[in-house]
Amino acid sequence: MKDKIKNVVIAGGGTAGWMAAAAFAKLIGKNLNITLVESDEISTVGVGEATIPPIKTFHKLLGINEQEIMRATNATFKLGIEFENWGLQNSKYIHSFGATGKECWAGEFHHFWLHGLRKGIKADFGDYCYELQAAKANKFALLNNTPINYAYHLDATLYAKYLRKFSENLGVTRLEGKIQQVNKDSKTGNISSLTLASGQVVEGDFFIDCTGFRGLLIEQALHTGFDHWSHWLPCDSAVAVQTKTVSAPKPYTRAIAHNSGWQWQIPLQNRVGNGLVFCSKYCSDEEAIATLKQNIEGEMITEPRVIKFNTGRRRKGWNKNCVALGLSSGFIEPLESTSIHLIMSGVIRLLRLFPFEGICQSTIDEYNSKLDSELNAVRDFIVLHYKTTEREDTDFWLHCKTMEIPPSLQHKIKLFKETGRVFLDDGDIFRVDSWTQVLIGQGIIPEQYHTIAEVMNDKELEHFMHSMKNSIANAVEKLPSHAEFLDKYCKA
């Protein structure tokens, strides 16, 4: 007979630990005892400051008030990411969270846009996206008559602090202390308890590993194994620094390509988060720090901190009676702000499959299969940005342009280039709009498009395209600035 699961132990705090604790306590906590073990002495990475739109759904599920959490985390709104110097030097495009144009049953809007180009309607693809135009104009508002798709820039340390208070109010027990040893059952190999440095033993039926890159439970105790993705994602280091605000916060993240990697710029209400992601084969830590310092605005609040990482993932997200979340489960790349999202989707998947009556192999297999699909899709989307560069001006970019890529991505790029079609995989968290904005932004213009775009005559097509572009421009014109809206809505 299987043992029922009653005691859940979360090893590690930070964003991953407290997101798991908050969701478990709020949604299924009545049936469980939840304990989170963390040490004040162990610092979290804490630079994950950008999110993608599904985080709003997570907060709704938990009944968290948007204005309250935005105030508590010095948050700003995020409509997308601006990519600079990625396709070519001095090129620029925005991958926004909005839908572009209008689609029909046979094909997405980009087929109509491509047909329009052929007919001499020379407008940017992004002109037909409300969120993208609002981002460019530094404007934002929440209006009943005009829905807008957005995420947040937030202080990850304050976010974990907020969720800690939220979780403790719901009965989660927090234990302070370093984990000295992970103890396993000699018969099953399952984790049975954690011994803390104080000598205290924390027993549990189910364990969630949020111990960061170290993977104390999933790797050091259960030897799950790690698949490296550095042959597709060459960056293995980052240097991060916070600076004082010198201008109104933009409602988007900036991702600026440099010689051996790229720089992020994330505006919060009270400061700016900056970092340089780079490949140590082409750039030393000292060079990276110097490059970042030369390219930041405003006085530094913190000293530059170098973070080393391996791109890749654990072979299993769920092994025996342990699930890894956050950095302990692997790390893809900060480029499209997927880290917090992957924690959230892991938590939701685990809640849906939670083995109250005891663990079955079929449950573990289902969790891992869905995780595989999701991670592979995210990986492909991020590799896409590197691979489709036209840059050959440095060894790093030449490597990215000529490197081998996963067959699944090779097929997606080829299909789009030759036919203009994009089909999503089961695990894709990015919609067709995201793929087309990045592919076109990186300079890939399809050789053909769906003939459904030719159903309108030239006059109808022109009217259709112009009226859509103009209505977006008029709607954006009426919006307040992002800074004005923040002041009214959620000033910290």
E strand spans, 7-149: 7-11, 33-38, 76-78, 80-84, 92-96
Taking the C-alpha atoms of residue 319 and residue 207, their distance in angstroms, rounded to an integer, is: 10
Q: Write b or e for each residue in 360-399: b if 16 or more Cβ atoms lie within 10 A of its Cβ, otherwise e.
A: eeeebeebbebbeebbbbbbbbbbbbbbbbebeeeebbee
Residue from 109, 134, 120, 153 nearest 435 by CA? 109
Q: How many CA atoms lie within 13 A of 131 on its CB side?
A: 26
Residue from 103, 113, 8, 22 nearest 69 by CA? 22
Taking the C-alpha atoms of residue 227 and residue 404, their distance in angstroms, rounded to an integer, is: 17
Angle, CA of 224, 226 and 229, to the nearest 5°: 160
189 backbone dihedrals φ, ψ, rounded to 5°: 80, 0
Q: Write b or e for each residue in 447-473: b if 16 or more Cβ atoms lie within 10 A of its Cβ, otherwise e.
A: eebbeebeebeeeebeebbeebbeebe
Is 78 an active-site residue? yes
Tell me the β-bridge partners of 11: 37, 209
Tell me the β-bridge partners of 107: 104
What DSSP character marks residue 151?
E
198, 41 Cβ separation under 8 angstroms:
no
One-character DSSP codes across 308-346? E---EEES-SEETTEEE-GGGGEE--STT--HHHHHHHH
Catalytic residue among 6, 56, 78, 412: 78
Long-range contacts (CB closer than 8 Å, 24 or more residues apart) made by 467-475? 468/101, 468/102, 468/128, 469/123, 469/127, 469/128, 472/127, 472/128, 472/129, 472/130, 472/133, 473/127, 473/133, 475/130, 475/146
463, 125 Cβ separation under 8 angstroms:
no
Residue from 422, 475, 401 nearest 87 by CA? 401
Residue 410 CB coordination number (10 Å):
13
Lookup result for tokens 């490949």: 279
Active site residues: 78
